[in-house]
Amino acid sequence: MQNMLAVLLQSSPNQSSQPLYADNTSIWAHMSGALHQSLYRVLSLLISILPGILAFLLALAVFTLFGMGVSALLRRGLALIRFDEHLSRTRGNIDWAPSTSPTALIARVSFWGFVLLGLIIGVSAFDASYATATMLPSSLLPYLTRIVGAALLLIAGTLVARFLARSVLIGAVNEQLQYARFLSLGIKWLVLVLTAAMVLDHLQMGGNVVALAFGILFGGIVLTLALAVGLGSRDLVSRSLESRGEHSGERSATPPTAGPGDSIRHF
């Protein structure tokens, strides 16, 4: 160590005469070279996948236009042969909303079918060009498909949550449950939490943390609901059980009064 220090001290007077910026220029040159190379690589990558992107857009545009044409033709053709009237004559009372007549439905299905076909062909064309673009990070494209799947899961989960929340709310109100809104909200958040956990799991984000957090949240909501319903309806349940015990024999023999009010017959 002492030898090394001696060598450094001896050599330093000679080196101090050299200009300091000579090494700096070299660093800038290296950085510039690295940046140029990176830019070159990215541009090369873009150029290599550009045909794929163009093919994707072209396929989508062509098939969308084609779908529009076929849809319009179907709409006119079916209107010409009075398809809706014929269907209602042969199939009877079908519950078609005005905006979803059979003709409109067929035209829409054909249009979106062509759009979907264009998407599939475009993606496969893009995939072919992607295979040659070896410099693209290998996880990017699969991750995009996961994002699409996660978005679909999120939409479906939100719709299911809304449907179930409304069903529970209406059912609970008709059963005269005072905590109807609370119950409905509980069901809604249960489904939303489940959906969020599924989405994150699908995206492979969070790992064990998501599963753990989901378990805690889900269990917490269920426990809260159980406690709230159990404590809130304790009297109701006991009254119901008592009246069932007393009138179990009578019920089978007498016609039901069908709702609130003792001497009321709704039907």
Partner 1 sequence: MATTDPASEITAASVRPGGELLVLLAAMTPEQLERALANLTTSFPAEGVLVASPSALPADSHPPLRIVAAPAANASWTLTAADFASAHQLADKNKAAAILMLGPESGGLAPSAIRALANAVLTAPTDLAVPCYELPPHAGLVNSAILYPLTRALFASRVRFPLAVDLGLSLRMAERLSGAAHRLTMLNQGEAPLWPINEATVAGFTIDQLDVGLLRAQPQPAGPDLSTILPLVAGSLFSDIDAKAAFWQRFRVLPPARNLLSIPEAASTDAAPDIAPMLQTFRLAYSNLYEIWSLVLPPTSLLGLKRLSTTGAADFLMPEPLWARIVFDFLLAHRLRIINRGHLLGALIPLYLAWVASHINITASGIDPESHIEAVAAAFEAEKTYIVSRWRWPDRFNP
Scanning residues 84 to 103, which ones bind partner 1 (CB under 8 A)?
Answer: 91-95, 97-98
User: 20 vs 266, which CB is nearer to partner 1?
Assistant: 266
Nearest CA-CA partner of 202 in 156, 244, 250: 156
* Residue 21 is a binding residue for partner 1 (CB under 8 A): no
Using CA atoms, how far apart are residues 207 and 50, in angstroms rounded to an integer?
Answer: 35
* Nearer of residues 98 and 137 to partner 1, judged by Cβ: 98
Q: Which is nearer to partner 1, 132 or 243 (CB)?
A: 243
Decide: 45 and 136 in contact? Cβ < 8 Å: yes
Residue with tokens 């044409």, as numbered in its chain: 69
Contacting residue, 38, 124, 139, 257, with partner 1 by CB under 8 A: 257
Q: Considering the rule CB under 8 A, would residue 252 count as an interface residue with partner 1?
A: no
Chain mean position to CA 140: 18
194 binds partner 1 (CB under 8 A): no
Within a 13 Å sphere around the CA of 198, how many CA atoms are in the beta-carbon half? Answer: 16
Binding mask 140-179 for partner 1 (x = CB under 8 A): -----------------------x--xx-xxxxxxxx-x-
* CB 133, min distance to partner 1, A: 47
Nearest-CA neighbor of 189 among 162, 151, 216? 162
Q: How many residues does the chain have?
A: 267
- Per CB under 8 A, residues contacting partner 1 are 91-95, 97-98, 163, 166-167, 169-176, 178, 180-181, 184, 255-267
